[in-house]
Amino acid sequence: MSGLRIPLGGPDGSGTAHTLALLAPNPSPMTLDGTNTWLIGREDVEEDVLVVDPGPDDEAHLARVAARLAGRRVAAILLTHGHDDHSGGARRLSGLVGAPVRALDPRHRLGEEGLADGDVVTAGGLELHVVGTPGHSFDSLCLWLPEDRAMLTGDTVLGRGTTVIAPDGDLADYLRSLDRLRATAERVGAEALLPGHGPVLADPIGALDGYVAHRRRRLDQIRAARARGAVTPREIVEIVYADVDPSLWPAAEMSVRAQLGYLEG
Ligand SMILES: [Zn+2]
């Protein structure tokens, strides 16, 4: 293995020995630099490749992905989850490269095959092991690439900051998924997390410990804010997220709703 590629200036072009990130042009407070579309394969052009998360339905981005794959057989397009910034371009890319789309949620599939915890997807002699990690969304998956000791994490773990619990997610599920991911990363000796947004993380255990600690801290802060009289999600955000840029408050409010549901559940 040639080690991690962590270029200066962002995720585009980063990856591991058999992975490469192509950055979609959809930056925002929620998507960081944009969505990372991951290409998985060997250098040998005779070997099949996989694509993980086409990104949004952006014609120029998908044309760039297809051009990068020109001449290669794409065994499948895989989705870490169904949110539009990951899946929106799946149909167009499927048309460009002639590959099926596999996802946990049947609504996002093109072709016969789904994608679920325990599945092993192979291409060019590389294996991707599917790890079910519901929480950010109900259909979130991570993908373990043993050859590179790398875990593709979708939106379950991001390259910077922390993720949110989307309206179709669940915080209790998310906390269980983080525990499971940490245990898995430790057992298999993971050396890199390849996120759906932001740069490659070279310290998986440290990153996952940070995520768990952050969640516990936020829950404690929400309990404290409620003890001080804050009732609505907005009131809680104004106390707990006072140090966070207000452009992120709508996302924070979504997260607070998820945490209130968890505390009251
Ligand atoms: Zn998402």
CATH code for the domain of 156: 3.60.15.10
In a domain, 244, yes or no: no
State the pLDDT confidence band at 2, using cuts at 50, 70 and 90. very low
pLDDT band at 162 (very low <50, low <70, confident <90, very high): confident
- In terms of residue numbers, what domain contains 80? 19-212
Dist. CA 228 → ligand 1 center (Å): 32
Cα of 81 vs centre of ligand 1, distance in Å, is: 7
The rounded Å distance from CA 30 to ligand 1 centre is 9
- Give the predicted TM-score (pTM) of the model: 0.93
* CA 83 / ligand 1 centre spacing (Å): 5
Q: How far is the CA of 155 from the centre of ligand 1 (A)?
A: 5
Report if residue 89 sits inside a domain. Answer: yes
Residue 226 lies in a domain: no
* Residue 10 belongs to some domain of the structure: no
In a domain, 241, yes or no: no
Is residue 237 one of the residues assigned to a domain? no
- pLDDT tens per residue, range 39-49: 999 988 899 99
Using the mean position of ligand 1's atoms as its centre, give its distance from the Cα of residue 53 in Å. 11
Determine, yes or no, domain membership for 246. Answer: no
- pLDDT tens column, 91-137: 999 999 999 999 999 999 999 999 999 999 999 999 999 999 999 99
Residues 194-207: what's their mean pLDDT? 96
pLDDT in tens, 130-160: 999 999 999 999 999 999 999 999 999 999 8
Number of domains in the chain: 1
Pick from 109, 85, 98: nearest CA to 24: 85
Q: 245: CA distance to ligand 1 center in Å?
A: 20
**Residue 264 falls inside a structural domain:** no
Query: Taking 50 as the threshold, does the pLDDT of residue 1 lie above it?
Result: no
